[in-house]
Amino acid sequence: MSSVSAIEKVTFGRKVIFSDAEEVTVNNVGKIVNDAITAHTINSTDINYLYNYYKGNQPILNRVKKVREDINNKIVVNHAFEIVTFKTSYLIGDPVQYVGHSEKVDSAAISKLNDFMYSENKAKKDEEIIEWNTICGTAYRFVKADEPTEVDDAPFEIFTLDPRNTFVIYSSAIGNKRLLGVNYIVDEYGVKHFTAYSDKYVFKFPDGCLVEAPSDGSGVKVTPNMLGTIPIFEYPANNARLGAFEIVLPLLDAINRLESNRLDGVEQQIQSFLKFVNCDVDTNDLDNLAEYGAIKLKSVDSSLAADVELVKTDFSQADAQVSKEDLYAAVVKICGLPTVNNGNSGISANNGASIVAHGWEQVEKRAAASEAMFKASENEMLKLILHICKYVGDNDLHLRSMDIEPKFTRRNYDDIQTKAQVLCEMLNNPHIHPKLAFEHSGMFSDPETAYTMSESYYAEQQEKWEIETIPDEDGVNGTI
């Protein structure tokens, strides 16, 4: 699905697809999907453009220069890649962990759920979701139950879907519930094979074609959806489905043009040409000039002096640098990146003023907003995961999605001394449950596991202390 970015393009987020249908049946599923295809095609085209832009295939590579065509530098300063990798690594540098939402939640069950996610390599799939999310403003995840013949630690499987061939159709009624999830694959002949999921049925369209099924239901293969919910979940970056660098595309293109013109200016200054005034010069003279670096000329008009002058174009590198820094500063501000001052963006671990000055506070606020969007979709996915674990998988994992909270951990080792002090003070406060201290101190990337291990260790140490200090039946301290 690769394409060449031929011209500079401005995109404006992804369109959310709605339908007025109250229910999806075999008789109307073809029309619902067909009506959505136009909007999806626009979204898919924009996503492909942004994905290629992120990879470095940017409009400057197709630059056409009409003056001095031989000097035509095409420089890609790939700030799009910089923005995506920074935001992805900052938001989800450490795996998302699940913690109990209240003290009544079974910690062992939470730990088992985290183990299931680890066995499914969910950390990598979360990173894929955030990467797509940051590139094009949305991402999609698919969840299915294991087949009866599968031997796996977790009773479910998780997949990241390509947003260029996946979309969700929402109801236009109040609440905008998911009505249909659609995914298609493209075979070696370029034919698209569509599969649509409602909460009741799975629809497979014949021969890779979208057709409105006749009233008798022929033409579309329909099977019951045993999971009882749509297994495709959308993870939007924001309500507009804007990618992280999408809003600054004109600035990024301008930086590319500026850098290309800047290098052109250097080469054109080096490759300056000679102007001959009142001189008769032939091609042999020019060849001698190229070989020996000097030329002997006679004036055409003896009354006028011959003159040879080097013609060059002055290019101000200082002005170009100021323009570049101004453009990049705008990119940093709009995208919510940390600022760089003279190559030194380091922050003191205990200096809150420095954190604010270098923009890290703004970075954290942007990440917190992204967290909220991610958690909304994650909670919907968890309902299906827990349903599979309870009714499909052979295990005793009984949890409710409202009892679980996805936990992001960022910059875990920054200001570690302060976090340790907070942990100790909270543990010493009899009004604060120890589990809350582990969760909110920021010391641990997996507070649930850390709390469970610590409680187990504390119980072992207490038992050991009692054995060593409480007198036995003979009144002697020591191991019984």
Q: Which residue has the higher pLDDT, 280 or 243?
A: 243
Tell me what pLDDT residue 92 has.
Answer: 87
Query: Which residue carries 């660098």 as its tokens?
Result: 245
* Residue 57 in this model has a pLDDT that exceeds 50: yes
Helix (H) or strand (E) holding 10: none
Worst-scoring range by mean pLDDT, 5-9, 102-106, 383-387? 5-9
Return the C-alpha torsion angle 404, 410, 416, 422, nearest 10: -40
Query: Which residue carries 């909007």 as its tokens?
Result: 39
pLDDT band at 4 (very low <50, low <70, confident <90, very high): very low
Tell me the two tokens of residue 261.
């013109």
pLDDT band at 443 (very low <50, low <70, confident <90, very high): confident
Write out pLDDT tens, residues 211-251.
555 555 567 899 999 999 999 999 999 999 999 999 999 99
Q: Which residues contact 85 (CB under 8 A, 6 or more apart)?
A: none
Write out pLDDT tens, residues 294-344.
566 566 566 666 665 655 555 577 888 888 899 999 999 999 998 865 444
Tell me what pLDDT residue 264 has.
Answer: 82
Worst-scoring range by mean pLDDT, 63-67, 110-114, 131-135, 427-431? 63-67
In total, the chain counts a number of residues equal to 480
Cβ–Cβ < 8 Å for 76, 256: yes
Tell me the two tokens of residue 185.
């694959």
- Whole-number Å distance between alpha carbons of 182 and 150: 25
Q: Which residue has the higher pLDDT, 92 or 470?
A: 92
Tell me what pLDDT residue 40 has.
Answer: 96
Tell me what pLDDT residue 50 has.
Answer: 97
Tell me what pLDDT residue 3 has.
Answer: 38
Tell me what pLDDT residue 133 has.
Answer: 95
Tell me what pLDDT residue 27 has.
Answer: 87
- Whole-prediction pTM value? 0.78
pLDDT band at 41 (very low <50, low <70, confident <90, very high): very high
| DSSP collapsed to 3 states, 51-85 | HHHHHCCCHHHHCCCCCCCCCCCCCCCCHHHHHHH
Write out pLDDT tens, residues 134-184.
999 999 999 999 887 776 788 999 999 999 999 999 999 999 999 999 999
Write out pLDDT tens, residues 354-391.
555 567 878 888 998 999 999 999 999 999 999 888 87
- Whole-number Å distance between alpha carbons of 270 and 293: 15
Tell me what pLDDT residue 350 has.
Answer: 45
* Residue 109 in this model has a pLDDT that exceeds 60: yes
Find the mean pLDDT for residues 80-100.
90
- Whole-number Å distance between alpha carbons of 408 and 420: 18
Tell me what pLDDT residue 151 has.
Answer: 67
Write out pLDDT tens, residues 10-34.
889 999 999 999 999 998 998 999 9
Tell me what pLDDT residue 450 has.
Answer: 82
- Whole-number Å distance between alpha carbons of 45 and 164: 8
Tell me what pLDDT residue 365 has.
Answer: 86
Q: 166-171 and 17-19 as β-strands: parallel, antiparallel, unpaired?
A: parallel
Cβ–Cβ < 8 Å for 224, 385: no
Ordered by start, the domain boundaries in the chain are 1-246+336-411, 247-335, 414-480
* Residue 411 in this model has a pLDDT that exceeds 60: no
